[in-house]
């Protein structure tokens, strides 16, 4: 791995999608919306098979799960987030068992699975869809504005940016508290610990007056300038719960030490987070340095989302330049990071521009 720091032949040979031609078996691709390991894989394997094998039996199931949670007994919740029903048992009984019974044992009738059986977190409902992403979505950019505002309107000011200092000696943690292993729940954890930091930018909408459903990949389209020659960009899509939110039947809210359930009022639920190592912004094969202080575009796709931001909630986007130790630290200097010395790691100022010419935005797959 250390000898292959770019997307070279070694990695390309290992991209399983390249072999997904002339598929004969009935395919059932299953994944978790909150799978810390292979969320990308489930969405994109399905898409590759679909594209490269038109007309075959290729079905997609995505539930609100951590890695492999669909094979367990409890699919009622992941981390602090509840799903309203036992989604894993439902999947096993209604999809997995009938699928194998029919295709391997000839038992039962054709389960007639929908093309895509997708659980939408937020509204906590399964949707049976005849394509993924669904046809009735449109890509709508939502723009960063000064003072932490997120708006459907493009900014009109001539010069405006938000900035922070990214210090590799104090990287932004990917999760709260102290853990030895990577937590499963970081994928939908409360991001308030990050909001409070000086090196995390938060932009949020007004309180939503109606439900907002996202279905499909999210594209971050950032206009950035940095004082170094490389930097990471972590984009987080967050559902901000109302201040008075609580799950039915939960104990009184009083912190963790108080023995109550987690305080869900004002919860900042991570819906999707993804990182782009800046030097790969134009190409994974050919990394390129940044010119310090020059405004450049960093555009990348986050794995697909299936989530409803309910009326009364807010949509928040956070930007930060480290996600530690989930992702290694970027020295913020254009080097082969695997070869970087301790002295290569430098503080840098990161600017996210939000003016008329450089309108950083997030393209959301809004479902009607």
The Cα 19–Cα 338 span in angstroms is 30
Residue 343 engages other proteins in binding (rule: CB under 8 A): no
Number of residues forming the site for other proteins (CB under 8 A): 30
Check binding of 342 to other proteins (CB under 8 A): no
Distance from C-alpha of 334 to C-alpha of 18, rounded to nearest angstrom: 30
Residue placing its CB nearer to other proteins in the complex, 96 or 176: 176
Using the rule CB under 8 A, is 299 a contact of other proteins? no
Kindly state whether residue 171 participates in binding other proteins, applying the rule CB under 8 A.
yes
Q: Does residue 325 have a cis peptide bond before it, meaning omega lies within 30 degrees of 0?
A: yes
Is 178 near other proteins (CB under 8 A)?
A: yes
**Candidate residues 2, 158, 249, 257; the one interacting with other proteins per rule CB under 8 A:** 257
Considering only the stretches 2-10, 188-196, 204-212, 336-344, report the one whose residues sit in contact with other proteins under the rule CB under 8 A: 188-196
86 binds other proteins (CB under 8 A): no
Q: Is 55 left (phi over 0), alpha (psi -120 to 50) or beta?
A: left
The answer to whether 231 and 304 have CB atoms below 8 angstroms apart is no
Question: Quick one: 79 or 98, whose CB is closer to other proteins?
Answer: 79
Phi-psi region of 68 (alpha: psi -120 to 50; beta: other; left: phi over 0): left
Q: Does 105 bind other proteins (CB under 8 A)?
A: no
Q: How far apart are CA 111 and CA 197, in angstroms?
A: 50
Least CB distance from residue 263 to other proteins, whole Å?
A: 5
Q: In whole angstroms, what is the distance from residue 295 CA to residue 298 CA?
A: 10
Closest to 352 in 3D by CA, of 326, 307, 306, 320: 320
- Interface residue with other proteins, options 167, 232, 274, 355 (CB under 8 A): 167
Question: Look-up: residue for tokens 């930091």?
Answer: 197
Is 265 a binding residue for other proteins by CB under 8 A? The answer is yes
165 binds other proteins (CB under 8 A): yes
Q: Cα separation of 144 and 351, whole Å?
A: 12
The residues, any chain, with a CB within 8 Å of residue 334's CB and separated by 6 or more, are 228, 229, 230, 279, 287, 289, 290
CB 174 within 8 A of CB 160: no
Are the C-beta atoms of 227 and 354 separated by less than 8 Å?
A: no
Which residue in the set 12, 73, 179, 182 belongs to the binding site for other proteins (CB under 8 A)?
A: 179
Among 57, 192, 299, 346, binds other proteins (CB under 8 A): 192
Q: Which is nearer to other proteins, 136 or 254 (CB)?
A: 254
Residue pair 208/290 in contact by the 8 Å Cβ criterion:
no
Exactly one of 173, 228, 331, 365 binds other proteins (CB under 8 A); which one?
Answer: 173
Q: Does 346 bind other proteins (CB under 8 A)?
A: no
Q: Is 195 exposed, middle or buried (0-12, 13-18, 19+ CB in 10 A)?
A: middle
Binder among 9, 210, 244, 339 for other proteins (CB under 8 A): 244
| Residues 196-235, mask of contacts with other proteins (x by CB under 8 A) | xxxx------------------------------------
What is the C-alpha to C-alpha distance for residues 103 and 111, in angstroms, rounded to an integer?
10
Please identify, among the stretches 85-93, 111-119, 190-198, 286-294, the one whose residues bind other proteins according to the rule CB under 8 A: 190-198
Given the rule CB under 8 A, which residues bind other proteins? 165, 167, 169-171, 173, 176-180, 190, 192-193, 196-199, 243-244, 253-258, 262-263, 265-266
């Amino acid at each position: 791995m250390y000898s292959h720091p770019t997307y070279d032949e070694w990695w390309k040979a290992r991209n399983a999608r390249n072999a997904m031609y002339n598929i004969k078996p009935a395919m059932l691709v299953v994944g978790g919306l909150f799978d810390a390991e292979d969320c990308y894989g489930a969405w994109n394997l399905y898409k590759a098979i679909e594209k490269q094998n038109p007309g075959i039996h290729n079905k997609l199931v995505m539930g609100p799960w951590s890695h492999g949670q669909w094979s367990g007994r409890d699919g009622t919740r992941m981390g602090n987030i509840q799903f309203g029903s036992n989604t894993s048992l439902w999947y096993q009984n209604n999809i997995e068992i009938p699928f194998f019974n029919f295709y391997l044992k000839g038992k039962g009738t054709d389960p007639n699975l929908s093309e895509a059986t997708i659980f939408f977190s937020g509204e906590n409902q399964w949707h049976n869809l005849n394509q993924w992403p669904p046809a009735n979505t449109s890509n709508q950019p939502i723009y960063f504005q000064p003072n932490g505002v997120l708006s459907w309107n493009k900014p009109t000011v001539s010069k405006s940016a938000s900035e922070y200092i990214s210090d590799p000696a104090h990287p932004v943690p990917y999760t709260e508290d102290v853990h030895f292993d990577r937590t499963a729940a970081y994928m939908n954890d409360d991001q308030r610990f990050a909001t409070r930091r000086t090196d995390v930018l938060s932009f949020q909408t007004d309180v939503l007056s109606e439900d907002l459903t996202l279905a499909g990949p999210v594209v971050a389209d950032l206009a950035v300038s940095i004082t170094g020659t490389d930097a990471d960009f972590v984009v987080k899509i967050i559902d901000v719960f109302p201040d008075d939110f609580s799950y039915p039947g939960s104990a009184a809210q009083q912190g963790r030490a108080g023995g109550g359930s987690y305080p869900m009022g004002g919860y900042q639920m991570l819906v999707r987070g993804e990182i782009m190592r800046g030097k790969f912004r134009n190409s994974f094969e050919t990394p390129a340095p940044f010119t310090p202080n020059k405004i450049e575009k960093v555009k990348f796709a986050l794995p697909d989302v299936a989530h409803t931001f309910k009326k009364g909630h807010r949509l928040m986007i956070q930007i930060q330049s480290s996600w530690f130790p989930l992702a290694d630290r970027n020295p913020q200097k254009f080097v082969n990071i695997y070869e970087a010395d301790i002295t290569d790691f430098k503080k840098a100022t990161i600017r996210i521009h939000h003016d008329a010419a450089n309108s950083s935005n997030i393209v959301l797959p809004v479902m009607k």
